A and B are shown apart, each in its own frame.
Chain A
Amino acid sequence: MLEVSLQHYLLVAALLFAAGVGVIISRRNAIAVLCGVELILNAAALNFVAFNRYAAPAGRLDGQVFTIFIIILAAAEAAIALAILLNLFQQTNTVDVDEADTMKE
């Protein structure tokens, strides 16, 4: 029976982080980029919970608390990003971040 240790959590989190970065780099759809950001945030949240369980001084819950804040902030950030994106979509009919590039000369 495999014992689940800190390393396993960190490995999953690192993979999530890499997947998030990959999505952000490869996708041009603004909503897909935001999904990539969510993956990164969840990788960090997983790290915090795992470190809190295995590495922090006993009785301290800093990592768990930080995770709750990450969840709240992710929701707030998505709300703001989607509001701005919706506004742009009503003007341009696209959610492609490369299309939102009319200012460069």
Chain B
Amino acid sequence: MQNSIDTARKVVAEGMSGLLPELLLAALVCVLLLADLFLRGVKPRATAWIAVVGFVACGAALVQRYGAHAEIFGWVQSDGPRGMLLNDHFAWFFQMFVLAAALVCVPMAMDHAAFRSRRMGEFYALLAAATLGMFLMASSTNLLMAYLGIEFASMASYLATAIDKRDRAGSEGGLKYVIYGSVASGVMIYGISLLYGMTGSMHYGDIARALQVHAATEGQLMIAAVLIFAGFAYKMAAFPMHFWCPDVYQGAPTPVTAFLSVASKAAGFAAFVRFLAAFTAHDGTFFIGFGDEKVPASFGWPVIIGGAAALSMTVGNLGALWQTNVKRLLAYSSIAQAGYLLMAVAVYAAGKGQPSGGDLAPLIYYFVAYFFMNLGAFHVITVIGSRTGATSVADFAGLGRRAPWMAFGLGLCLLSLLGMPPTGGFVGKLQLLSAAVKHDLLWLAILAGINTAISAFYYFKLLKCMYLDRSDAGVIRSGAANMAVLAVLVAPVLILGLAFSPIADLSRGFGF
């Protein structure tokens, strides 16, 4: 008894020492909530600065953790560790990604019109809590931990979406988000329970080993896999769980939309790729059948994921064609982007067990580009929206004259989302397409090409509105701080398109 308590104490102590960034985020949540209570007389911006300091401190702790490879909160067996969280390069990349997105959302929230007149500690606490949940998603190596991370991030996001109580659209968006979200997580957890029944464990390593030696029929596994995929697809905003996306993105305050479209999606992909890696470990084959009749089989992941990717891009791009609300348009665009990103995951699943190896570099590179182009676009929409109340595409008429730099930034981000040179989106998409062709997913690459052509219609619709349509409205003053944020977000879009080789080299280091 004493012995096992000592072991438990040792596990917790070791885990905590590798968990400094997460602990800092948890402390930040508490500090922000208390600051909201006790700093009543202080300006609303005070809590924003506390959030910035907290995120930067967390970032510093995360930089310290770079290069670590430790599986924590578990024990070590002869054939490998059994932990809850794995801190490795892959987790590090996505954690840094999520943290940077949260940090960028703070100045956006400071600028957001509806947020200026109220105490915002609660909002930043929710932002930090969602970030913490996404940290856990990115490093989870156990289905329990992945599920808890998803729920943690989701619950904070639901509340952040509906944070403006007087706003009907925000409440509607929040309701849709929470209802569909709880259905998706319920379906996912039922799938997890089936997979647990087949493998006897929820640790990814154990699942991989169990699939290798014993048995479930392919049909049983397929049911569990599809149900679990539904839960991950909800976080990725990919087909078949994309339908919440337009209402939530439109209804949520724009800084929240920006955070959800970038950070939440990335964390969903990170958690899913980790799960997928376990499922396809050992050459991507497993054994089906009962008793002595065991036949090696390869699971249909490339087909499932490729199909979801194809449908995501098509549904997203076709849906976006008729949209007149800018945030709704970008919501459909983000569904389509999830499709392109899923294409990289399908390539990864198809490449497993082949000599060329499962390569995650195109996914990582596209995510880096996506970070800047999507946050850049939402930054401009926040700034313009909070000064003019602009929500529809027509409201952006004449922006090229009214706010030339903002229009230039948004234009560049849209071209990048479309995948035009010389932007990061072009290089990213090129890598995705060439990887898909290399791994026998030619049909998917062709479909992505057709989809890119379709998406040109609505991206150019917004561009045309900004530069060709006339408007008599006055010049918009954006402020130096917003210009600085714009420069930080848009310059990398160009750099990623022109000087891409160092970043492409770096992106190879963040796989498994």
Known interface pairs A66-B144, A80-B159. Does A44 touch B193 (Cβ–Cβ under 8 Å)?
A: yes
Chain B 495-511: CB-based contact to A (< 8 A → 1; otherwise 0): 00000000000000000
Residues of chain B from 104 to 125 with CB closer than 8 A to chain A in the complex: none
The reply on B27 being an interface residue by CB < 8 A is: no
Residue contact B144 to A81, C-beta cutoff 8 Å: no
Nearest Cβ distance between residue A20 and chain B, in whole angstroms? Answer: 7
The reply on B155 being an interface residue by CB < 8 A is: yes
Bound form: Cα–Cα A77–B177 in Å: 12
By a CB distance below 8 angstroms, the chain B residues around A104 are 246-247
Q: Looking at the complex, which one of A44, A50, A92, A100 makes contact with B186 (CB distance below 8 Å)?
A: A44
**Smallest Cβ-Cβ distance to B392: which chain A residue:** A105
By a CB distance below 8 angstroms, the chain B residues around A24 are 183
Question: How many A-B contacts at CB < 8 Å in the complex?
Answer: 131
The reply on B218 being an interface residue by CB < 8 A is: no
Residues of chain A from 39 to 69 with CB closer than 8 A to chain B in the complex: 40-41, 43-45, 47-48, 50-51, 55-57, 60, 62-63, 65-66, 69
Residue contact A51 to B197, C-beta cutoff 8 Å: yes
Residue contact A84 to B168, C-beta cutoff 8 Å: no
The reply on B165 being an interface residue by CB < 8 A is: yes
Residue contact A69 to B144, C-beta cutoff 8 Å: yes
Total interface residues on A, CB under 8 Å, equals 48
Bound form: Cα–Cα A80–B189 in Å: 19
Nearest Cβ distance between residue B458 and chain A, in whole angstroms? Answer: 14
**Smallest Cβ-Cβ distance to B203: which chain A residue:** A62
Residue contact B182 to A81, C-beta cutoff 8 Å: yes
Nearest Cβ distance between residue B244 and chain A, in whole angstroms? Answer: 12
Bound form: Cα–Cα A88–B183 in Å: 19
Residues of chain A from 11 to 58 with CB closer than 8 A to chain B in the complex: 13, 17, 20, 24, 30, 33-34, 36-37, 40-41, 43-45, 47-48, 50-51, 55-57
**Smallest Cβ-Cβ distance to A85: which chain B residue:** B175
Residue contact A77 to B179, C-beta cutoff 8 Å: no
Total interface residues on B, CB under 8 Å, equals 42
Residue contact A40 to B178, C-beta cutoff 8 Å: no
Known interface pairs A65-B144, A85-B175, A87-B162. Does A47 touch B155 (Cβ–Cβ under 8 Å)?
A: no
By a CB distance below 8 angstroms, the chain A residues around B246 are 103-104
Residue contact B171 to A62, C-beta cutoff 8 Å: no
Q: Looking at the complex, which one of A30, A56, A85, A92 makes contact with B200 (CB distance below 8 Å)?
A: A56
Chain A 67-100: CB-based contact to B (< 8 A → 1; otherwise 0): 0011001001100110111011001100001001
Known interface pairs A33-B179, A37-B183. Does A92 touch B168 (Cβ–Cβ under 8 Å)?
A: yes
By a CB distance below 8 angstroms, the chain B residues around A76 are 151, 155
**Smallest Cβ-Cβ distance to B247: which chain A residue:** A103
Residue contact B179 to A43, C-beta cutoff 8 Å: no
Residue contact A97 to B196, C-beta cutoff 8 Å: no
By a CB distance below 8 angstroms, the chain A residues around B186 are 20, 37, 40-41, 44
Q: Looking at the complex, which one of B159, B174, B179, B190 makes contact with A34 (CB distance below 8 Å)?
A: B179
The reply on A102 being an interface residue by CB < 8 A is: yes
Residue contact B148 to A69, C-beta cutoff 8 Å: yes
Bound form: Cα–Cα A20–B193 in Å: 16
The reply on B325 being an interface residue by CB < 8 A is: yes
Q: Looking at the complex, which one of A10, A34, A55, A65 makes contact with B182 (CB distance below 8 Å)?
A: A34
By a CB distance below 8 angstroms, the chain B residues around A13 are 193
Residue contact A47 to B194, C-beta cutoff 8 Å: yes
The reply on B169 being an interface residue by CB < 8 A is: yes
The reply on A3 being an interface residue by CB < 8 A is: no
Bound form: Cα–Cα A40–B188 in Å: 10
Nearest Cβ distance between residue B325 and chain A, in whole angstroms? Answer: 7
Nearest Cβ distance between residue B198 and chain A, in whole angstroms? Answer: 8
Q: Looking at the complex, which one of A10, A20, A100 makes contact with B172 (CB distance below 8 Å)?
A: A100
Bound form: Cα–Cα A91–B172 in Å: 10
Chain B 316-340: CB-based contact to A (< 8 A → 1; otherwise 0): 0000000111001000000000000
Q: Looking at the complex, which one of B171, B183, B250 makes contact with A84 (CB distance below 8 Å)?
A: B171
Nearest Cβ distance between residue A29 and chain B, in whole angstroms? Answer: 11
Closest 5 CB pairs between A and B?
Answer: A47-B193, A40-B186, A51-B197, A88-B171, A44-B189
Q: List 11 A-B contacts (CB under 8 A).
A: A44-B186, A44-B190, A47-B193, A76-B151, A76-B155, A77-B151, A77-B178, A87-B165, A88-B168, A97-B179, A101-B172
Interface set of B (CB-CB < 8 Å, partner A) = 144, 147-148, 151, 155, 158-159, 162, 165, 168-169, 171-176, 178-179, 182-183, 185-187, 189-190, 192-194, 196-197, 200-202, 246-247, 250-251, 323-325, 328
